[in-house]
Amino acid sequence: MEHIRRAFDTIAGEYDAQRRWIIPDIDAFYGAAVWAAEWEGDTPTILDIGAGTGLLSALLLEKYPKAKLTLLDFAEQMLNVARERFAGRTDVRYIAGDYRDVDLGGGYDLICSALSIHHLQDEEKAGLYRRIYGALNPGGVFVNADQARGDTPALDRRFMEYWDAFISDGPLAPAELAVIKGRRDTLDQSANLIDQLAWLRASGFSDVDVIYRNRIFVVLTGSKPRDTERGAVQVSGL
């Protein structure tokens, strides 16, 4: 994962500016994630996993201005951008670490992530979902706004063609496009949607569903039951 950290530290300053020209229908994508992050009170405790520059966190704070927020990421320069974004706020905490093995702690009402978990290998994704489940309060909600492969090679190919056409039609320079596609081709390890939903259910989540999908880009959610004695279901192979 060290090569991934270096890659995102390198682009930290321009990451947010580029994102609108990388993610099709970005407002609907992030809007669905914020909509899915639903809590009954106005002061939720929130963990943003792979928080990067803090874009998703900023949108969540618009919904919950009194929230207590923790940003977790292993790219220090990305977190530095987030620190600038939230300068003056005393209710934002930062953790620099690799979320594959860093202690997530607990007591969270909402755990969210955007465009990060797809960098993990499949068994690491499944393991992280289990740890997220353990870090949530009963009744807590997990939202993952991320990438997913098509469920067949033909669909996956069409999804990638759609994505390539979108970023090529935007204002990014050829050199920028080359870097973005190179980063995608070397760092992304997206799983298909069916497997990810199964891993969430196997971790114990209820109300697992797809809130949004635009080809590759998806928003998934699941809730930790208030009665957690039911336990997690085991899925073979992970």
One-letter-per-residue 3-state SS of 93-141: EEEECCCCCCCCCCCEEEEEEECCHHHCCHHHHHHHHHHHHHHEEEEEE
State residue 75's pLDDT score: 83
State residue 16's pLDDT score: 67
Verdict on whether the full-model pTM lies above 0.75: yes
State residue 8's pLDDT score: 35
CA angle at 157 for the pair 200 and 211, rounded to the nearest 5°: 35
Domains recognised in the chain with CATH numbers = 2-227 (3.40.50.150)
pLDDT in 10s for each residue of the chain, 238 residues: 443 333 333 333 455 667 888 999 999 999 999 999 999 989 999 999 999 999 999 999 999 999 999 999 988 888 999 999 999 888 899 999 999 999 999 999 999 999 999 999 999 999 999 999 999 999 999 999 999 999 999 999 999 999 999 988 888 888 888 887 887 778 888 999 999 999 999 999 999 999 999 999 999 999 999 986 444 444 434 4
State residue 187's pLDDT score: 81
Cα–Cα distances in Å, from 196 out to 32, 62, 146, 193? 18, 28, 11, 5
Q: Where are the alpha helices (DSSP H) in the chain?
A: 2-10, 15-19, 26-36, 55-63, 76-85, 122-135, 153-168, 174-187, 193-203
Whole-number percent of the chain with pLDDT over 70: 88
Cβ atoms 85, 58 nearer than 8 A: yes
